[in-house]
Chain A
Amino acid sequence: MDGSSDAAVVARVVHGDVEAFGELVARYRDRYFRYAMHMLGNREDAEEALQDAFTRAYRSLSRCDDPERFGAWLFRILVNRCRTSGARRGRRLKTFVSDDMALMDASEEHPAERRAWREEIDRALARLRPEQREAFVLKYVEDLGYDEMSVVTGVGVSALKMRVMRACDRLREMLSEVHSV
């Protein structure tokens, strides 16, 4: 990867250098994959969503108004893609969630190890309402400010604060039950 700005790489792609798009993929794939993983809960769906976000970005690259902020633009596409995918997945996994709750109860009987703690976090995250999970991950994992979150999600700042607050309350409640933290 070279040190070219996003705008310079985008210009090369738009003017015919298809392979330059690989530089943008290398720049953003890891960070955005983490977000997709947290939102969708498994690697397969996360990779599919991220790949789709990249190809949508490529198709629409000439409409990227501020190529210097290509990363933020791509992230908005991914957030929307995860919402769509998450909604489909939510319908598909209703049964799984109730089984998961049983598993969570069972885990109380075992000593907590770090891996188990992480799994419990993932389960708790998966049990949040999608909009609360999205707000929590953007705020505390991706470390965005509320103004940035508002741009990415199209949701007002006060509503986002409420979602984060409720997500935190739910997570503390679920994880305190299980782990006595």
Chain B
Amino acid sequence: MSDDKLFEDGVIERIAGELRDAERPSAGFDARVMASVRGIARARQREHRERRRLWNRVSQPRTITVRPWSVGLAAAALLLCASLAGWGAHAFARMESAAPAAASGGSQRVQFVLVAPNAKKVAVAGDFNGWDAQHPAYQAVHRGGGVWSVTARVPVGHHRYSFVVDDSLWVADPTAPRVVDDDFGTTNSAIVVEPEIR
């Protein structure tokens, strides 16, 4: 007898109908799964920190900080290099160098720039906006010539971020320090936003 005939004979249809009724796990199920997932994430972060500590012991320690004048110059130089070399895409972030707005609530205005001639949309996602690539304050605007930029407030402190191109391609900033810091060994960019020096 074929499958269809088995189904048509009514018995199998009745059985399948009963079994298709909704079943739901108990109320605390989501919380248990997420507790387990967070535990895995914390363990991985600890492992990464330990690996980095070991690496720092055997390599030359170097502190990288972002200062308005130096990052501004580096960004301009890199943009020029990229234009001359015809790179497909590169990016950088800098704190506002020209008359920076006064820090408010412990944050600074940071300009993120990506050169991506073929992009249709560019956004910035990082721990400062909940990794939300749809966040309206972090949508880059096309300035012409394939240059995309957005200036947004970022809280003072250490942050990780990435560019998101066309809602799907996550691009680390090649001009910023990189950190293999998430749970999956992928690379994000790092930025240190310092309080305004008065």
Contacts and interface: CB of A to CB of B under 8 A. Distances in A.
A157 to B, nearest CB: 12
Nearest to B1: A165
A108 B132 CA distance: 59
Contact of B182 (A4, A14, A171): A14
Contacts of B23: 30, 33-34, 37, 46
Interface residues of A, number: 51
Given A8-B133, A33-B25, A121 B18 contact: yes
A55 B38 CA distance: 10
Interface in A21-43: 21-22, 25-26, 29-30, 33-34, 37-38, 43
Interface in A115-167: 117-118, 121, 124-125, 137, 139-141, 161, 164-165
Interface stretch (B26-34, B111-119, B146-154): B26-34
- Secondary structure dominating the interface of B: mixed
Nearest to A8: B167
A140 B133 CA distance: 39
Contacts of A121: 15, 18-19
B125 interface: yes
A15 interface: yes
B171 to A, nearest CB: 11
B148 to A, nearest CB: 19
B102 interface: no
Contacts, number: 134
Contacts of A61: 184
A181 B11 CA distance: 7
A181 B170 CA distance: 58
B9 to A, nearest CB: 8
Given A16-B127, A29-B29, A165-B1, A58 B37 contact: yes
Contacts of B11: 171-172, 175-176, 181
A118 B183 contact: no
Nearest to B130: A17
A139 B3 CA distance: 10
A12 B168 contact: no
A59 interface: yes
Interface residues of B, number: 49
A104 interface: no
Contacts of A34: 19-20, 22-23
B59 interface: no
Contacts of A22: 30, 33-34
A16 to B, nearest CB: 4
A123 B133 CA distance: 49
B25 A15 contact: no
B186 A14 contact: yes
B48 to A, nearest CB: 11
Given A26-B30, A141-B16, A176-B11, A15 B170 contact: yes
B168 A165 contact: no
Interface string A1-24: 000100110011011111111100
27 contacts: A8-B168, A12-B125, A15-B125, A15-B131, A15-B188, A18-B37, A18-B38, A21-B34, A21-B37, A22-B33, A29-B29, A33-B29, A34-B23, A38-B19, A43-B25, A47-B25, A47-B29, A50-B29, A51-B36, A59-B40, A62-B185, A117-B18, A140-B16, A141-B19, A172-B9, A175-B15, A181-B14
**3 shortest interchain CB distances as A-B pairs:** A17-B131, A62-B184, A140-B16
